[in-house]
Structure formats: structure tokens, C-alpha cells
Chains A and B, each alone.
Chain A
């Protein structure tokens, strides 16, 4: 069997095992619920009968292994259960499924994240390479200072500064990103401009610092020095000698930052009141709507693991040396 294919398959298998274990961790979160949880959800006035009914409804009367199998079986078929906030136990209203809550918001979040990524990835790769090529120049020092500053400040600080100056004082953009499924594409882009810009600023800082470090590491290797000494032109050194070996670190950088994007989106969505999955998760945490929280956590974790796995696979495919780990 092709050794590359074999390693990739191994890595995919490992990813599946991680996913399985993570799903267990997320699931067992419910088992750790404090005993008075039903009372906390239903309110102090709940009778013992309603509490018991509620516990039966979320399955607390069954053994954990059975509950896990039931839950994961449902998840694999796209059924995450029903939301607590509208569950039958609470006043008899019809229950909303978690999927119907998450699906439209997931689409919004993916739109925002890909919008930000499309701008951020090329920009930061170019900036990172320039900073690495002209390292210790004024440009490099300036970029280093600016990026160190912007990765150290909270996202909501950047978000509110942008909102204050680019939407309120100078009304160039929409200050709130309210979109509905009917919003046409161009208007959607315009409304998402500020949240996307915030994410771009944060991601670019991270990504370009990592790109710079990776490229500098590479340019310091002996074979690049040899190429330089034998008189190869700088452009040829970059494209013919450095870049083939740089794909792996660059792919890692991109994947890590896209994974980060998924998390950073939570705060930014709340600032701009964007109807995405991050805001849904925050709301559900305040309402202690555990099924929705679990589903959101699972979605985030799967994306995160997926990106890390992709980075691994790209580095294996582009760097045959990794096939024989020492």
C-alpha cells in the first residue's frame, strides 16, 4: 500500500478516535449536573412530580452508557434532541428541536467565518513573507509591534473601536449585523463588514506572526544558504527552494487560525448582535439549555478537530520525511 495513503488513513483513524472521546467528554457533562439542576431549571415552585417528569424526559433515570448510545445514535442521524427552553415539561408547549435552532445560525456563522478567512489568509501570508524577507527592517519592527499589540487586546475592544469610529462617528458601515435568511447576498456582505473586519484584524496578526516565524526558520536552514552562496536569485530561492518546504508550516498556520476563528466568532457575534451559532451558545449557557449547549460544543469541537486534522494531513502529504517519524 502507498505509504502516504497509509499514514493519512492512520491519521484519519486517530481523528475519529479523538472525535469519539470528545463526544464522550461533552456527553458526560450532563452526568456531572448538580442534583438540584431540575429545580434550578424549573424554578422553586416545581412540584416533585414535575421534577421527576423532567428528569425522566432528559433520561436521567437510565444508565449513562445507554443514554450515551441513544444520544450519539441520534446525533449521527442529525437529531440532537429537543431544547429545554421549550421542552414539554415547561408548561406543555410544543418542543423545538435543537437542529431547527442551530441549522440557520450555523449557516450565518459559516458565512461570516469564510468571509473573514477569504480576506485574512492571503493578506497575512503576504505580510508574513514580507516581514520574514525584510526582517529587522523598520517595516518588520513596525508590523511586529502592531501585531503583538493586536493579539494582546480583547476582541471586543477592537470590535467596539471599529464600531465607534467606522459606524457611529463616521457612518460608513452598519453598526449592527442583523441579517435574516431573506437578506440578499450583497446586503449581507455589507452588513457583515464590521464583524468580518474585526475577525480579520485579530486573525491576520496571529497568522502573519506565525508565517513569519515559519519562514525565518526555513530561511535559516543550510540548504537555503547553499543556494544563496551559489548565486541563485532571491525570487528563485523563495519559489523553487523555500516554498515547497514551507507548505507544511503554512498549512498548519492557516488551519490553526481557522480553528481559532471558530472560537473568536463567539465574542464578535455578541458584540454585533449577529444571529450566529456563537450567540446561540452564549444565550443557551445563560438559560442553561444543556442540549443546545452540547450540540454547539460538539459542532465547534468537530470543526476544530477537523482543521487540525487537515493541517496534519497536508504536512504529511507535502513532506515525505514525516512518513518516517524518528
Chain B
């Protein structure tokens, strides 16, 4: 899924250079807090049905993830019944291969799976974003060296690279987060560097440089606010991608380890039920699918809005 997803974006992006002048007027730095809220509301009113659907789904997931212990009828890994009990009665979705309540595990799974994916994406953006801005502003040899090193890392398919690193460092949650974040930050680096390049050459950056501002200031106050919209959209896409990668790794038994409730491993653990025509293993997979679809819908709309593409979709 991975590789072509971003190639797809790049293809789309090449056709549509970002109109910086238009988007920069909407950055938080220039408008007041109330103005931002109003802008958001105005945008939402005209949002298509798919975007609304996406937003509602995302909010529902966030709610479930945050209040998991209050919603779930049973504990995360408490054995409360027999193996593979059918749907209905005390257990709405039945029980899993060890007799744990499926619904409770789905609810806790939201917290674990999404939490880890958000953390990983955040780390990936911190690494990739800082390096990308740095490379774009400093330029010269530093930029060349960083870019070539990143190109090389990208020459190996990401899932394969992740599998190899996991076999060396062993699979634990911290290892998983760091490995996926580092591998994924290569994509963030590329995008940040590419969009920052357009801003770095503008006069106000030059002025800040001549004024003797420090590198950190130029990065965070001069360039970053002007490249925020594409980065926000990218965050959504990278989140989906990281989320799918982690789920795939967990499904392969190499990601989040039991007894932690996690959607990818839950599919793996209950997969035998498929052979009996039972849909239960599809529930966690469906949870993953629904969230990624929702995020993609919202990102699609956001990109459409910020890039001013009217006729391209």
C-alpha cells in the first residue's frame, strides 16, 4: 500500500504547485484565535459529505480511545468466558481464542493501536521535519549529504527494511515506534525540504538572515508557518500509512505483542474462525479500515481546499 501511496501524492502534487501567497494569509500567526474558529466553521459548512463522515468517525474513535476503561464492559486481558463463544448475550461480539471479551478488546485496541500510531507519526514528523527544514535552509553540502543518505534509505522497500531491523533489535513497542518513525521520516524529510525550498528563497527569509536571526528562529518562525498546510495534510496521510504498517507488522506477529489488545494482532489471533464462516476476525480489521478511510476522506478534502484545486478532482 505504502510506496505507491506517496508516489500518488507526488504525482498529484507535481501537477499543482502550492499557491503560497494564498495559503499564508490563513496561517494562525496572522489571524486571531476567533478568526481561526470562524474560518474552520465556514470551511466545514461547505465540506462535502465524505469529509463530514470522516470527521465524525475520527471524533468517535478519539472518544472511544480516551475513555476506553469507562466504556469497556470487561478488562483488557481478563479471561471472562469460554473460548470462541458466539455473539450475543453477555458478550456482544463473543469471545476470542482465550475467552476474553471481543468488544472490550476492540475498545482497548483503539487506545493501544491508535496511540502507538499517533506517537510514531509525531516522532517521524519531528525527525523528518527538523532535518528537512535544516537541509532546505542551510543548503550546500549538508543538504546534498542528507538528501543522498535519505535517498539510499528509500531505495529499500519500507516494510522489508522494518522487518530486517525488527529481526535485529527484537520487536518491542519502543523499538517498533523508533524503527517505523525513522523509516517514515524519510518521506517527511523529502516533502518538508521540497516545500521549504520554495519559501527559503523569498526575501523575508533573506531579511531575517541578514538581521542575524538564529537558525532555530528562521526554521520555526519564518519558514514553518508558511509550509504548514501541506504538512498538516501530509500528517494525515503519514498517520494512515504508519497505522497500516504497524497493523500489518502486528498481523504478521512482529509488531505489538500479546496480551496487549491491538487490532492487527487480534485479526491474527482469531483468523482460524474465518474457516468456519465467522465474521468476527473481520471486526478488528474493519476498525482499522474505517479509520484509515475516514482520515483519507478528510485529507482529500483538506488538500482540495488548501491547494485551491477546483477542477482537478
A residues with CB within 8 A of B = 18, 21-22, 25-26, 29-30, 32-34, 40, 144-145, 148-149, 151-157, 160-161, 163-164, 168-169, 175, 202, 206-207, 209-210, 213-214, 216-217, 220, 249, 256-257, 259-260, 262-264, 266-267, 270-271, 281-282, 284-286, 288-290, 293-294, 296-297, 300-301, 304-305, 308
B156: contacting residue among A25, A144, A152, A175, CB under 8 A: A25
Binds A, one of B23-31, B101-109, B216-224, B270-278: B270-278
Closest to B160 in A: A300
Check B293 for interface membership: any CB of A closer than 8 A.
yes
Contact partners of A293 in chain B: CB under 8 A = 163-164, 167
B293 engages A156 (CB within 8 Å): no
The CA of A153 and the CA of B313, in the complex, are separated in Å by: 21
B244 engages A154 (CB within 8 Å): yes
Closest to A149 in B: B293
Contact partners of B297 in chain A: CB under 8 A = 148
The CA of A34 and the CA of B293, in the complex, are separated in Å by: 39
Binds A, one of B80-88, B122-130, B193-201, B245-253: B245-253
Check B240 for interface membership: any CB of A closer than 8 A.
yes
B152 engages A18 (CB within 8 Å): yes
8 A-B residue pairs with CB within 8 Å: A22-B156, A157-B286, A256-B7, A257-B4, A266-B160, A282-B254, A285-B167, A290-B168
The CA of A288 and the CA of B274, in the complex, are separated in Å by: 29
B285 engages A260 (CB within 8 Å): no
Contact partners of A152 in chain B: CB under 8 A = 240, 289, 292-293, 295-296
Q: Which bracket fits the contact residues of B?
A: 35 or more
A153 engages B292 (CB within 8 Å): yes
B165 engages A29 (CB within 8 Å): yes
A305 engages B248 (CB within 8 Å): no
Contact partners of B59 in chain A: CB under 8 A = none
Contact partners of B295 in chain A: CB under 8 A = 152
The CA of A21 and the CA of B313, in the complex, are separated in Å by: 40
B4 engages A260 (CB within 8 Å): yes
A156 engages B267 (CB within 8 Å): yes
B152 engages A263 (CB within 8 Å): no
A26: contacting residue among B5, B15, B164, CB under 8 A: B164
Given contacts A21-B152, A160-B267, A297-B160, contact A154 B3 (CB under 8 A): no
Contact partners of A34 in chain B: CB under 8 A = 168-170
The CA of A296 and the CA of B159, in the complex, are separated in Å by: 12
B residues with CB within 8 A of A = 1-5, 7-8, 11-12, 14-15, 50, 151-153, 155-161, 163-170, 240, 244, 247-248, 251-254, 264, 267, 271, 274-277, 279, 281-282, 285-286, 288-289, 292-293, 295-297, 300, 312-313
Q: Closest CB of chain B to A259's CB: distance in Å?
A: 6
A168 engages B282 (CB within 8 Å): no
**Interface class of chain A by DSSP:** helix
Closest to B4 in A: A206
A263 engages B157 (CB within 8 Å): yes
Q: Closest CB of chain B to A136's CB: distance in Å?
A: 8
B8: contacting residue among A154, A157, A213, CB under 8 A: A213
Contact partners of B264 in chain A: CB under 8 A = 154
Among B1, B281, B289, find the residue whose CB has the most chain A CB atoms closer than 10 A.
B1
* Other A-B pairs beyond A22-B156, A267-B251, A304-B155, 19, CB < 8 Å: A151-B8, A157-B282, A157-B288, A160-B267, A160-B274, A163-B274, A207-B4, A210-B7, A260-B2, A260-B4, A264-B1, A266-B160, A270-B251, A270-B252, A285-B163, A285-B254, A288-B170, A289-B167, A293-B163
Contact partners of A145 in chain B: CB under 8 A = 50
A22 engages B3 (CB within 8 Å): no
Given contacts A304-B156, A304-B157, contact A281 B279 (CB under 8 A): no
Closest to A284 in B: B167
Given contacts A164-B279, A286-B254, contact A263 B11 (CB under 8 A): no
B248: contacting residue among A155, A164, A300, CB under 8 A: A155
Q: Closest CB of chain B to A289's CB: distance in Å?
A: 8
Closest to A209 in B: B8
Closest to A19 in B: B155
Closest to A206 in B: B4
Contact partners of A213 in chain B: CB under 8 A = 8, 11-12, 15
A157 engages B2 (CB within 8 Å): no
A266 engages B159 (CB within 8 Å): yes
The 3 closest A-B pairs by CB, nearest first: A153-B289, A157-B285, A285-B167
The CA of A285 and the CA of B249, in the complex, are separated in Å by: 11
A260 engages B3 (CB within 8 Å): yes
A263 engages B160 (CB within 8 Å): yes
Closest to B247 in A: A154
Contact partners of B12 in chain A: CB under 8 A = 213
The CA of A64 and the CA of B281, in the complex, are separated in Å by: 46
A32 engages B168 (CB within 8 Å): yes
A148 engages B296 (CB within 8 Å): yes
Q: Closest CB of chain B to A191's CB: distance in Å?
A: 16
Closest to A279 in B: B252
Q: Closest CB of chain B to A223's CB: distance in Å?
A: 16
B8 engages A210 (CB within 8 Å): yes
A151 engages B1 (CB within 8 Å): yes
Contact partners of B3 in chain A: CB under 8 A = 256, 259-260, 263
B157 engages A259 (CB within 8 Å): yes
B163 engages A154 (CB within 8 Å): no
A148 engages B300 (CB within 8 Å): yes
A206 engages B293 (CB within 8 Å): no
B293 engages A160 (CB within 8 Å): no
Contact partners of B282 in chain A: CB under 8 A = 157, 160-161, 164
A156 engages B248 (CB within 8 Å): yes
The CA of A222 and the CA of B257, in the complex, are separated in Å by: 56
Q: Closest CB of chain A to B13's CB: distance in Å?
A: 10
Among B50, B251, B253, find the residue whose CB has the most chain A CB atoms closer than 10 A.
B251
